[in-house]
Amino acid sequence: MQMYVCNDKDGDFDNLVIVHEYGHGISNRLTGGPSNTGCLNNPEQMGEGWSDWLGVMMTIEPGDTGTDARAVGTYLFGQGAGGAGIRSYPYTTDMNVNPQTYNNIMTTGGQPHAVGEIWAGILWEVAWALIDESGFDNDIYNFTGDVNLDAGNVMAMALVMEGMKLQPCNPGFVDGRDAIFAADVAIYGGANECVLWDAFAKRGLGFSADQGSSNSVTDGTESFDSPVPAIDT
């Protein structure tokens, strides 16, 4: 794994950055199955997004909430806690702070970090929807495969990891979404379907979303609908 010095700051001193770089090894090796290599080179691929997401997921602390603003690269740029980071917006479930939805990939020009941060923002919604539903476990490795025992953050990690294995080579956002639903069926019998649809739909990756070709970031269509009835609270 290659680490770097940025602005005279060593990335090895930032846990999020370490996990981000390690995450590239995970997504590149799992996507498309073991017989494929080079499966994350298309314009709509989400490699940078998984890496950011793994970084913020593995640095959640007890007491954090989904509406907290989580920025990337604050240490590297000397910003300190609460800094703006190096992405367009910090990661948060607050749409007033981070308004990005699926259609925002059209303005990225296929730049991997710009595309990735939109995917990471969607996965952040997924993670916090599961945490709000099933709680938080400080031990992210406390996985059982039982929906009644696994905490929300543990389930989110399991679904995203398994989704990488199930998605095709050169995936787009809808491919990645569908793979997570398939992972939920495989691991939890589809128990999280409603929660997942609410989270994906909030950021424009609802049931009717169309990615077009995963080799283009300008031919997709976002949607905010769900195939399941709204949950009364």
Provide the annotated active-site residues.
21
| Helix %, strand %, coil % of the chain (to 5) | 45, 5, 55
- Alpha carbons 219 and 212: distance in angstroms, whole number: 5
User: Is 226 domain-assigned?
Assistant: no
CB 225 within 8 A of CB 201: yes
Read out DSSP for 201-213? Answer: HHTTB-TT-B---
CB of 195 closer than 8 Å to CB of 133: yes
In this prediction, residue 233 carries a pLDDT of 45
Residue 43 Cα to chain centre, angstroms? 17
Q: Does residue 171 belong to any structural domain of this protein?
A: yes
* Structure-block tokens of residue 39: 């499966």
Task: Assess if residue 216 is contained within a domain.
Answer: no
**Could you tell me if residue 194 is inside a domain?**
yes
Task: Specify the pTM.
Answer: 0.96
Task: Give the residue numbers spanning the domain of 88.
Answer: 5-202
Here the tokens at position 216 are 């283009």
Tokens of 139: 């031990």
Task: Give 52's Cβ-side CA count (13 Å radius).
Answer: 29
Report the CATH number that the domain containing residue 171 is assigned in CATH. 1.10.390.10
For residues 36-42, give the mean pLDDT: 86
Residue 144 has pLDDT above 50, yes or no: yes
Task: Show the tokens assigned to 215.
Answer: 């080799």
Identify the band that residue 1 occupies on the pLDDT scale cut at 50, 70 and 90: confident
Write down the residue that tokens 């997004």 correspond to: 49
Contact 49, 116 (CB under 8 A): yes
**Length of the chain as a residue count:** 233
Q: Which pLDDT belongs to residue 19?
A: 97
pLDDT at res. 35: 65
In a domain, 58, yes or no: yes
In a domain, 232, yes or no: no
Q: 5-6 and 9-10: which strand pairing?
A: antiparallel
pLDDT for residue 231:
54
Q: Is the model's pLDDT at 4 over the cut of 90?
A: no
Residue 45, Cα to own-chain centre: how many angstroms?
12
Question: Is residue 211 a part of any domain in this protein?
Answer: no
For 69, the 3-state DSSP assignment is coil
Mean pLDDT for all residues in the chain: 95
Rounded to the nearest 10 degrees, how much is the dihedral formed by the CA atoms of 66, 138, 184, 173? Answer: 50
* Number of domains, the chain: 1
In a domain, residue 223? The reply is no
